[in-house]
Chain A
Amino acid sequence: DVKVTQSSRYLVKRTGEKVFLECVQDMDHENMFWYRQDPGLGLRLIYFSYDVKMKEKGDIPEGYSVSREKKERFSLILESASTNQTSMYLCASRPSGRSETQYFGPGTRLLVL
């Protein structure tokens, strides 16, 4: 079974804090993704990575950065958290090749006060 884990289920941070969200997958997948999920807007892609140390911007990268130092781990960084970054953050992974299936973690619900 593919397993994608996220470091926290719930986080409460203050405006201006630096926030780290960690994601680990155990299936040796090349591709990893960070999304945020908001009511009425669905899942929106923030960043993705198709290899170690490689990253690509998604649809809404502003205010975020990412790090992928090891294949199994993909980190999302909020440099200076703002209230409009309150959201559910979902990490996903996908093997290379023709597979379209993305495997999701349980999500981190972040509240920025």
Chain B
Amino acid sequence: QKEVEQDPGPLSVPEGAIVSLNCTYSNSAFQYFMWYRQYSRKGPELLMYTYSSGNKEDGRFTAQVDKSSKYISLFIRDSQPSDSATYLCAMSYLSGSARQLTFGSGTQLTVLP
């Protein structure tokens, strides 16, 4: 079983829809939770970052963490065609003296105009 499971998609929604992207994890040592966005033929870029249970909002994006259920979500409101990308969840843990990230496999999202 992978430490991080992510709904693979692909997901296709009409413009303006609310999108929900989800990851579950099994390692209680994960301390920080991130969402990266990766456009086609580009490297991932950090979208949201949180370390505590609850919600964090940034414009149309809301990151939700539930540590008791080991579940994180990213919600996109009023989705736009420019949101079409692959979304990767990532979780940070301490390995020896170094922090490392474990990534989900990514969800490919297409927002149709």
Question: CB within 8 Å of B: which residues of A?
Answer: 4, 9, 31, 40-45, 48, 50, 56, 58, 90, 92, 94, 100-107
Tell which of B6, B32, B100, B104 touches A45, judged by Cβ atoms closer than 8 Å: B100
Q: Which chain B residues border A100 with CB–CB below 8 Å?
A: 32, 34, 49, 92, 99, 101
User: Are A42 and B6 interface neighbours, CB within 8 A?
Assistant: yes
CB < 8 Å A-B pair total: 54
User: Are A106 and B42 interface neighbours, CB within 8 A?
Assistant: yes
B45 within 8 A of A: yes
User: Are A101 and B43 interface neighbours, CB within 8 A?
Assistant: no
Q: Which chain B residues border A4 with CB–CB below 8 Å?
A: 43
A94 to B44, CA, bound (A): 14
User: Are A102 and B8 interface neighbours, CB within 8 A?
Assistant: no
B17 within 8 A of A: no
Q: How many residues of B contact A (CB 8 A)?
A: 25
A43 to B34, CA, bound (A): 14
User: Are A50 and B98 interface neighbours, CB within 8 A?
Assistant: yes
User: Are A104 and B100 interface neighbours, CB within 8 A?
Assistant: no
A94 to B92, CA, bound (A): 13
Of the A-B pairs whose beta carbons lie under 8 Å apart in the complex, a sample of 5, sorted by A's number, is: A42-B106, A43-B44, A101-B49, A104-B44, A107-B43
Chain A residue nearest to B104 (CB atoms) is A42
A41 to B100, CA, bound (A): 17
Q: Which chain A residues border B92 with CB–CB below 8 Å?
A: 100
The 4 closest A-B pairs by CB, nearest first: A104-B43, A42-B105, A43-B103, A42-B103
B63 within 8 A of A: no
Q: Which chain B residues border A105 with CB–CB below 8 Å?
A: 43
Q: Closest CB of chain B to A38's CB: distance in Å?
A: 9
Q: 1/0 per position for B26-48, CB-CB distance to A under 8 A?
A: 00000010101000011111100
Given contact pairs A105-B43, A106-B42, enumerate 10 new A-B contacts (beta carbons under 8 Å).
A40-B8, A42-B103, A42-B104, A43-B101, A43-B103, A56-B96, A100-B92, A100-B99, A107-B42, A107-B43
B65 within 8 A of A: no
Q: Closest CB of chain A to B25's CB: distance in Å?
A: 13
